Amino acid sequence: MLSYRHAFHAGNHADVLKHAVQSLILASLTVKDKGFSYIDTHSGAGGYALDHEWTQKKSEYLTGIAPLWQAREQWPELAGYFAAISAMNSAMNSAMSTDDSPEQLDFYPGSPKVAEYFKRPQDSMTLMELHNNEVELLRENMAPQGRRAREHYSARSKGPTIHHQDGFAGLIGLLPPTLKRGLVLIDPPYELKEDYQTVVETMAQAHKRWPIGIYAIWYPLLAKDVDRSGALKSALTNSGFKDILCAELSVSEQAQDFGMYGSGMMILNPPWKLDEQLKQLLPRLAETLGQATLEQELATKHAAAWNLEWLKKA
């Protein structure tokens, strides 16, 4: 049974890394007029109200998107990501007829809403989600909301195709997509240990069907006793893809037995210059999102770190 609900974690440091990378890739795909395909294998609910009781439970966004949003003029490299956040806030305020400014961070876009911002009429978007309740929320959140939003989205052509199904198997059935360039975002919760192996098997099959697609795979960095990121990275190195870039952001120290201290994105066939963009971005994210223990605070230190490496380069 699936128990993971992304609302508990919306806007946290892992979302910032994932959605910043997703936005940079999508922005690069919009440089050419030719349409692209966007496929999201694990979509979640699409977008999140930050005042929802689940999100408020640990308020993870306060140590994630919130400090960046407050100083957004200092992050020109994240302009596309911030524009996607503004677009969702503006559409929701219009739908709910509130006068709140889109500059106020009331809502946070999940990966489908981020993608929606970049989607043009010539592009396609396919979203998959397995959880019964999450897929219902996804359908609601991706429906055009409010008059302004309806105008905005109908000008951007038809909405996404949403499938209530297993994203791994579903992905293979969709490859190769009709539009031959594009991005697949793979963002499993890894609540099942098998998810790691399934990612690896799925990528080997994906390589056979669509070797030129861009694939962005999120993974957690966990406590020493349970971390599997190293095994995942080495297995993916043998998946057939020739260019694999890996970006990691950790915000606290790695514990021995429990907890997530950061996360990573593996990008297969990354767009040109993404490595240079991330080389600038990751140190700044680590500096801003690092979480200090009391002892570290007293020593004005924190345990944040970043890593950018080519696992494979043709």
Residues near ligand SAM (CB under 6 A) are: 2, 4, 6, 18, 42-44, 110-111, 128-131, 134, 166-168, 187-189
To the question of whether residue 166 is assigned a binding role by annotation, the answer is yes
Residue 187 appears among annotated catalytic residues: yes
Look at the block and give the residue holding tokens 């140190």. Answer: 283
Q: How far apart are CA 253 and CA 185, in angstroms?
A: 27
Determine the residue with CB nearest ligand SAM. 110
Compare residues 88 and 302 and give the one whose CB is closer to ligand SAM. 88
Q: Output 213 or 302, the one with its CB closest to ligand SAM.
A: 213
Rounded Cα distance between 293 and 118, Å, is 38
Beta carbon of residue 271, minimum distance to ligand SAM (angstroms, whole number): 19
- Give the Cβ contact number of residue 148 at 10 Å: 14
In the complex, the smallest distance separating the C-beta of residue 7 from ligand SAM, rounded to whole angstroms, is 9
User: Per-residue DSSP letters for 148-167?
Assistant: HHHHHHHHT-S--EEEES-H
Which of 123, 187, 243, 257 is catalytic? The answer is 187
Strands 124-129, 37-40: pairing kind? parallel
First CA to last CA distance, the chain = 41
Of 81 and 302, CB closest to ligand SAM: 81
Instruction: Kindly tell me which of 124 and 198 has the beta carbon lying closer to ligand SAM.
Output: 198
Does 152 appear as a known binding residue?
no
Phi, psi of 290 (to 5 degrees): -60, 135
List binding-site positions for S-adenosyl-L-methionine.
19, 42, 111, 129, 166-167, 187
Catalytic residues, by residue number, are 187
